Amino acid sequence: MFTKIGAISVGVSDQDKALDFYVNKLGFETIDDQPMSETERWIEVGLPGSQTHIILGLRNQGWGDRTGMTGFILHTDNIEETCAKLKERGVTITHELATEPWGKWAQFSDLDNNEYGIWAPAS
């Protein structure tokens, strides 16, 4: 049967800007970047060492066209440092860091207003 989640797609409006954002602001690395057509590329990014990647596909070309909470949650060991670093890099924090009974939580958005959760254990 299945062995892992290989990739999850996120719709973006500009693949070059999205690649720059995910690599240079969020710290992902480029896994693959290949032409698919005259207007679109297969761009896959991932966290160093991770098995699950994000495909940055053009909106309205089969990759989805809705924005909002993606449902993807990135884990971190030091959420305070992570949020501070994201802010320094110009990333929009949409839900400021809060401590909840189930852990520490914040949210950020990418250039297309796709939102991601950031989670760390409560200390």
56 touches 45 (CB < 8 A): yes
Name the 3-class secondary structure at 17.
helix
What does the pLDDT read at residue 86? 97
pTM of the model: 0.82
**How far is Cα 68 from Cα 78, in angstroms, rounded to an integer?**
25
| One pLDDT digit (tens) per residue for the chain, 123 residues | 667 788 888 999 999 999 999 999 999 999 999 998 888 899 999 999 999 999 999 887 655 566 677 778 899 999 999 999 999 999 999 999 999 888 999 999 999 999 999 999 987
Kindly state whether residues 96 and 122 are assigned to the same domain.
yes
Contacts (Cβ under 8 Å, ≥6 apart) of 60:
11
Q: Could you tell me if 25 and 83 lie in one domain? A: no
Residue whose entry in the numeric block shows the structure tokens 């924005």: 67
Look up the domain containing 105 and give its range: 67-123
Note whether 58 and 71 are same-domain residues: no
- Please say whether the beta carbons of 86 and 28 come within 8 A: no
CATH of the domain at 41: 3.10.180.10
Same domain, 109 and 122: yes
- For residue 55, the model assigns a pLDDT of 92
Quick one: 43 and 101 in the same domain? no
Q: Are residues 51 and 77 in the same domain?
A: no
